[in-house]
Amino acid sequence: MRDDVKDSHEDSRDEQTPAPQGIARRDALKAMAAAAMVPMLPDAAASPVAPAARAPLPMLDEASQAKRKGPRGTPSDPVLQVAKADWPNKLQRRELATLSALCDMIIPADAKSPAASTVGAPAYINEWASRPGGETSLVRVRGGLAWLDRESNTRFGTRFHLATNAQRTAICDDICYLPKAKPEHQFAAQFFDTIRDQTATAFYTTPQGWKDLGYIGNVTMTKFEGPNAEIRRKIGVE
């Protein structure tokens, strides 16, 4: 092949080689504007340009996600494949002792189930209050725990978790119902509401909590009896 013909073919290939994809946003906008003007030019059909190849979308790499530091996604868009709390828990041992005592005042042990602290309610609340973006919750929890210890020390000369059950009950009775709490107890009552809700969430999402509710889950039924006669009468089918 002659050199001049070979050079001509190479030049033609160079003109048709797709441009690299990593262009700046400003250059991309310019290119889009220029493409919109092409049909109005007289030589628009001169030589077509090959479309740029598109890279495939990246697949979720669960191994790399598991090793990545920081929270998995966001509350509105969690990454459930590797759902795991990997942020540091911020409540201290002293605070957890007070929190455990309060959780057990809310859900104490009885003949059917163990106390809330036994199934990990304080650890759950610690993780919840320490979550990224949960600064307001952490302030409320820490402030409420400090209030409990101070109030118990003022009334009974000891910290909340060291007080007797009757003494702890006296304090909880003052803050367990927000609408009737005294003005000086409003913050503590809001704190109690928060801990009561989180304690119940922690407890009743465990097997022990399911058993306490009588929830049997997805189990095989050998026979389905249907609703009893009283229910059938109430719904008008008997």
Quickly list H helices, the chain.
3-16, 25-37, 62-67, 93-106, 121-129, 135-156, 165-175, 186-203, 207-213, 229-234
pTM: 0.61
Measured on CA atoms in the order 135, 138, 144, 145, is the torsion positive or negative? negative
Which pLDDT does position 47 carry in this prediction?
52
pLDDT for 6: 47
Q: What's the distance, Cα to Cα, between the start and end of the chain in Å? A: 98
The residues of the chain scoring below 70 in pLDDT are 1-85
pLDDT of residue 34: 53
Per residue in 139-197, pLDDT (tens digit) is 999 999 999 999 999 999 999 999 999 999 999 999 999 999 999 999 999 999 999 99
In the prediction, which pLDDT does 225 show?
Answer: 83
